Amino acid sequence: VTENRSDLEDLHLYATPREQRFRRFASLEFEGQLYMTPYDFIQAVTNDEPKHAKKWRSLSKQELNQILMETPPVWKGSSKLFRNLNEKGVISYTEYLFLLCILTKPHAGFRIAFNMFDTDGNEMVDKKEFLVLQEIFRKKNEKRERKGDEEKRAMLRLQLYGYHTSTNSVLKTEGEDLVPRSYWDTLRRSTSQALFSDLAERADDISSSLSDTTLLVHFFGKKGKAELNFEDFYRFMDNLQTEVLEIEFLSYSNGMNTISEEDFAHILLRYTNVENTSSYLENMRCRIPEEKGITFDEFRSFFQFLNNLEDFTIAMQMYNFASRSIGQDEFKRAVYVATGVKLSPHLVNTVFKIFDVDRDDQLSYKEFIGIMKDRLNRGFR
Torsional class of 253: left (φ above 0), alpha (ψ -120 to 50), beta (otherwise):
alpha
**Cα gap 5→232, rounded to integer Å:** 38
Q: Which of 59-68, 73-82, 199-208 has the lowest mean pLDDT?
A: 199-208
Average pLDDT over residues 205-233: 87
| DSSP state letter for 7 | G
pLDDT for 5 beyond 50 = no
pLDDT for 146 beyond 70 = no
pLDDT for 296 beyond 60 = yes
Residues 6+ apart with CB under 8 A from 228: 74, 124, 125, 126, 130, 219, 220
What pLDDT score was predicted for residue 143? 62
Average pLDDT over residues 331-337: 88
pLDDT for 227 beyond 50 = yes
Average pLDDT over residues 319-336: 78
pLDDT for 137 beyond 80 = no
Decide: 79 and 246 in contact? Cβ < 8 Å: yes
**Cα gap 338→341, rounded to integer Å:** 8
What pLDDT score was predicted for residue 163? 65
Give the residue from 294, 261, 280, 282 showing the smallest Cα distance to 371.
280
Domain residue spans of the chain: 3-239, 253-374
What pLDDT score was predicted for residue 9? 58
What pLDDT score was predicted for residue 196? 44
Q: Which of 158-162, 168-172, 228-232 has the lowest mean pLDDT?
A: 168-172
- Comparing 365 with 335, the larger pLDDT belongs to 335
pLDDT for 235 beyond 60 = yes
Decide: 251 and 42 in contact? Cβ < 8 Å: no
3-class SS at 102? helix
Measured N-to-C along each axis, helices 17-25 and 150-161 cross at an angle, to the nearest 10 degrees, of: 60
What pLDDT score was predicted for residue 199? 54
pLDDT for 1 beyond 90 = no
Considering the chain, what percentage of its residues have pLDDT values greater than 90? 35
